[in-house]
Structure 1
Amino acid sequence: MRVLAIGDIHGGLKALIQVLNKIEVKASDKLIFMGDYVDGWSESAQVIQFLMELSQKINCVFIKGNHDVWCEEWLKTGEVNPTWYIHGGKETMDSYADFSDEEKSNHLSFFENMPLYHIDEDNRLFLHAGFTSMHGVEKEVFKTTFYFDRTLWEMALTMDKSIEKDSLLYPNRLKHYKEIYIGHTPTTNFESDVPMNAANVWNIDTGAAFKGKISGIDVNSKDLFQSDNLPSLYPNEKGRNK
């Protein structure tokens, strides 16, 4: 069984389909999506519909991201978070124009059932952003940390590469897991258009919300699969490049 982690999508259905085609997904595969399915490009609602249908055929895990939390709240209450609106929410609302109330209700249930993290049988942790507890995700007090935190990635980036995992200097919160996979903070912020590895943390958000790509990685072999840059697939749109 292959286990594949898929980075942030942000309404880029065309790019998502490209990545899955390059992966050549099989019924035996396990796909773990890192969150932020919506907000950015014009096909957010269509991405959710596609993923719901995909999960009927393939073993999928859908981690919840911060943009998914905002969209879920809008579908539930009709209230528009102003921060969400200016960071892709308007485009997501527009993408739902032709969806029925029943379809929106089904999408709401899909969002509500998303886990905040996933730990697989090989003790690899998958979550959208990060966590702060030195005792691991089960001891995290503030659940919003799972989809907003950036300190985990910042810490990993600044670590001395010579420090071994059994060293007293190795951060305790990293010791709990064989590997940690995250999204949320685009690697393009660090001038990389491919997933980045620091300590035992892998960041696979390669900037799909902006000018980057959607990335998928085989967590066993580290084989990489990527879409084209999103602006080339949506040439008449700006995404979140505003």
Structure 2
Amino acid sequence: MKRTLVIGDIHGGLKGLMQLQKSVQFTSEDQLIFLGDYVDGWSDSAQTINYLIELENHFECVFIKGNHDVWCLDWLRTQDVHEVWYKSGGKSTIESYKHVEDSVKEQHIDFFERLINYHVDSQNNLFIHAGFSSMYGPEKEANPSTYCWDRTLWEMAIATDSRIPKDSLLYPKRLLCFNEIYIGHTPTLNYKIDVPMNACNVWNIDTGAAFTGKLSCLDVDTKQFWQSETLQNHYPNETGRN
């Protein structure tokens, strides 16, 4: 049976991803949707990109663009170090590329350039890194950077009174654009929760793998989810983005 599996923000935690793959047991029938932020945090950022490129050769993969991926691509192209990026996990990413050959870096540039802003499946489910602000959906978004940075979609979903029916004039119009919406970007650890969160029809799959949390994968149809160990256990001598 084909599964649609959505995976949260990895942030260079390749060991967590490998453990997660063993637990979930990806098959050739599955579609894997990655929500972005593949780099910046743990020490395996460059190695994570290698791994994702290899996964693409064996599985049906959808790769969404995250804000950290935008930063990393800019650095790979120009070697200019954005100060905010450097302090937000970029330092470990730069170190992970120290012994990577230029030909491999070119492959990584190609990977980052192929990332998409969002994906809508046949069930009208949206997969996007952060969110969108237009009441008409992301295709009407005036500023494409919103896809990587927006937090208002999630904040609106968790603040919406569950007693408000969808046909009410008070129900947020943005949320009516899609059957379900899957995001990363905002760690559930911010709310002292270490598993995927659901509010209205929005599912947040970023369970804080960049920090003290775990990497998560969720089956879109059944809502079963799997998690790695806390990434700190895989990288005991590192601090991630803490």
| Bin for the TM-score computed over the shorter chain | over 0.9
Question: Separation in 2 of the partners of 1:219 and 1:172?
Answer: 23
For 1:65, give the aligned amino acid: G
Q: Which runs of 4+ in 1 moved over 4 A?
A: none
Question: Separation in 1 of the partners of 2:177 and 2:227?
Answer: 29
| Matched-pair identity in % | 59
Question: Separation in 2 of the partners of 1:39 and 1:91?
Answer: 6
Is there any run of 5+ residues in structure 2 with no aligned partner, and where? none
The match for 2:205 is: 204
What SS is found at the alignment partner of 1:214? strand
Question: How far 1:155 sits from its partner (Å)?
Answer: 0.4
Once the two structures are superposed, residues 59-81 of structure 1 have per-residue CA deviations (whole angstroms, 9 ceiling, x without a partner) of 00000000000000001111111
For 1:100, give the aligned amino acid: E
For 2:125, give the aligned amino acid: R
Question: Separation in 2 of the partners of 1:51 and 1:68?
Answer: 13
The match for 2:18 is: 17
Question: Separation in 1 of the partners of 2:182 and 2:194?
Answer: 17
For 1:36, give the aligned amino acid: D
Is there any run of 5+ residues in structure 1 with no aligned partner, and where? none
Question: How far 1:98 sits from its partner (Å)?
Answer: 1.4
* Aligned length, in residue pairs: 241
The match for 1:34 is: 35
Once the two structures are superposed, residues 155-180 of structure 1 have per-residue CA deviations (whole angstroms, 9 ceiling, x without a partner) of 00100011222222111111010000
Question: Separation in 2 of the partners of 1:167 and 1:6?
Answer: 32
The match for 1:47 is: 48
Question: Separation in 1 of the partners of 2:195 and 2:165?
Answer: 25
Question: How far 1:28 sits from its partner (Å)?
Answer: 0.5
The match for 2:62 is: 61
For 1:112, give the aligned amino acid: E
Once the two structures are superposed, residues 71-130 of structure 1 have per-residue CA deviations (whole angstroms, 9 ceiling, x without a partner) of 000011111111000111010010011111010011001000100100001100000001
Question: Separation in 2 of the partners of 1:239 and 1:215?
Answer: 17
1:1-242 paired onto structure 2 within 5 Å: 1-241=2-242
Question: Separation in 2 of the partners of 1:107 and 1:167?
Answer: 47
For 1:238, give the aligned amino acid: T
Question: Separation in 1 of the partners of 2:220 and 2:121?
Answer: 11
Question: Separation in 2 of the partners of 1:117 and 1:170?
Answer: 23
Question: Over aligned residues, Cα RMSD in angstroms?
Answer: 0.6
For 1:15, give the aligned amino acid: G
Question: Separation in 2 of the partners of 1:27 and 1:75?
Answer: 32
For 2:92, give the aligned amino acid: E
Compute the TM-score of the two structures, normalised by the length of structure 2.
0.99
